[in-house]
Chain A
Amino acid sequence: MAMRSVRMAYGADLAKIVLDDCSFAVARGKLNVLIGPSGCGKTTVVNLLAGYERPTGGEITLDGEPVTGPSSSRLVVFQETALFPWLTVLDNVMFGPAVRGTVKRAEVEREARSLLEMVGLKDFADKHPMQLSGGMQRRAELVRAMINKPRVMLMDEPFRGLDAMTRKLMQEHYLRLFEEDGRTNLFVTSELDEAVFLADRLIVLTNLPTRVKKIMEIDLPRPREISMLGSRRFLELKQEALNLLHEEALKAFTAGATSAYDLVEAVGRRGPIR
């Protein structure tokens, strides 16, 4: 997937420019992570790649074909749960392939159950979403998107709002699925640890108007383990990414965006990561 010189502007006379001359590629079969200062237009990027919005200028393509609207080849997992509350977990997961009707129902069910087992939801197939915890709902969402075999998975801060422990466990489940499946993923987050821990490629965005500041190759070995969070290489990579984000936050803060203050203050107090 690629974005070439994309411009996105809103409002009267298109005066509010969110993206300007934004170009990057989502590498095939890799876990691409998008990170940027808060309010920098990360969700706009996802909406454009998903085809929910059309750019004001420039071009977005998947395997060379222009993106003109939403499609099951590019599926989004959202920040908030979007499971159908009136269907069981199993029926939710089977929904996409069942509606398309191209694969036999028994086969879809077998696949759904095997995916649910992989994320530890084997015994919850017949429950309804409301009967699950937040972390379990997110896992069901992941599986529901994967069963459609999209060419690209777009993850828009899918673990935001989960508590710290559940989040770590979710990251491990997600990594296991990715490492098994090797599908192209674009994962958006504002947590630096999560970004470096998950990514093959870390795409660091600038403040508004959003462009790509730098793409970092994350060369930590796979499979990734939680214990790598303390390794020297992890900390080096995290420091490099933090410096990039700090530069952007500083620019934004100097330009009058108080929302950028937290990062400026944190780096000012902490200095380099140990």
Chain B
Amino acid sequence: MSPHGGLRIKEVSKVYDPEGIHVVALQEISFDISPGEFCVVVGPSGCGKTTLLNIIAGFDTLTSGEIVMDGSTLTAPGKRLSPGADRMVVFQHGALFPWKTVLWNVTCGPVLQGRLPRAQAEAQARHLLARTGLSGIEGQYPGELSSGMRRRVELVRALMNDPKVLLLDEPFRALDALTRSVMHEHLLQLYDLARKTVFFITHDLEEAIFLADRVVVMTTRPGRVKKVIEVDLPRPRDHRILTSARYGELEEEALEAIHEEALKAFETGERELA
């Protein structure tokens, strides 16, 4: 297990096409994520959430500023960062290998990297799958599973790589509301098991507050930090917490911050940067 995974985001800016149309996607974003913290970033379409995630993942570069992980520079202008198993991404749309079984899919990372012997990887995979209620599906193929089951398999696959940070980009967006709420509980169960640092992106406030230790609200483009909300709901959490008075207060606080931004985005029609 890697015990670390603290992230420091320091005055990060991202400008697309600085010589030409000059689109400012991120403007001097700064915030810290402690090791093992569950941090959720919310904001309207086009606020640069995905851009920030892509920079941390190593899919994109920043224009100025710096991102530090556990005390050493992860990326800065001129320092090219490659994607790596220490920062695992789970995407909106699944990326399982459809021609491989569930067990192969979730064990391929550590086995192919030679980090774990196959038998040990399989034992660990079975344990994690069982913890999210997926015992007995190891030999099935992704196409045989429900969408909710597939999403859970992806989470397990990401965790099997023992990353320092889990980067989740609206992983439950395509699910219906009821299934999504069940997925939140499954994700928290996995989180309580491993306490990895999580960087989670969403549009959905209920999802944000239910999952997070801290919610970072971003503004419409150019993306800036509008507000940081400490979520002091006790863990472990289940859906009953959504009816608590404290949840209501937190939601109201977040709603106030975000409603203005959402309306702005809705009226001006900013498109999300790819």
Contacts and interface: CB of A to CB of B under 8 A. Distances in A.
A258 B145 contact: yes
A192 interface: yes
B265 interface: yes
Given A132-B269, A133-B265, A166-B266, A266 B149 contact: no
B35 interface: no
A25 to B, nearest CB: 27
Nearest to B262: A165
A15 to B, nearest CB: 21
A166 B179 contact: no
A136 interface: yes
Contact of A265 (B133, B204, B265): B133
A118 to B, nearest CB: 14
Contacts of A270: 178, 181-182, 239
Contacts of A161: 174
A262 B175 contact: yes
Interface in A95-138: 120, 124, 131-136
B45 interface: yes
A154 B166 CA distance: 41
A163 interface: yes
Interface string B141-153: 0001111110000
Interface string B173-190: 111111101100100000
Contact of A164 (B146, B147, B203, B269): B203
B182 A133 contact: no
Contacts of A163: 44-45, 173, 203-204
Contacts of A242: 178
Q: How large is the interface on B (under 10, 10 to 19, 20 to 34, 35 or more residues)?
A: 35 or more
B267 interface: yes
Given A258-B146, A269-B182, A270-B239, A134 B176 contact: no
B45 A166 contact: yes
Interface string A228-268: 00000000000000100000000000000011111101110
A266 B265 contact: no
A169 interface: yes
A165 B203 contact: yes
A193 interface: yes
A191 B144 contact: no
A274 interface: yes
Contacts of B239: 270
B217 to A, nearest CB: 12
Contacts of B176: 190-192, 262
B144 A258 contact: yes
A133 B148 contact: no
Interface string B251-273: 00000001000100111011110
Interface in B33-81: 44-46
Interface in A159-179: 161, 163-166, 169
Given A163-B203, A270-B239, A262 B182 contact: yes
A192 B180 CA distance: 13
Contact of B178 (A136, A259, A261, A263): A263
Contact of A262 (B45, B46, B146, B204): B146
Give the top 8 A-B pairs by smallest Cβ distance, nearest first.
A163-B203, A262-B148, A261-B146, A262-B179, A133-B269, A164-B204, A136-B269, A266-B178
Given A131-B271, A164-B204, A165-B266, 13 more contacts: A133-B45, A135-B266, A135-B269, A165-B203, A192-B176, A192-B177, A192-B178, A258-B140, A258-B146, A262-B149, A263-B178, A263-B179, A265-B148
7 contacts: A124-B269, A131-B271, A132-B271, A133-B45, A133-B271, A166-B262, A258-B144
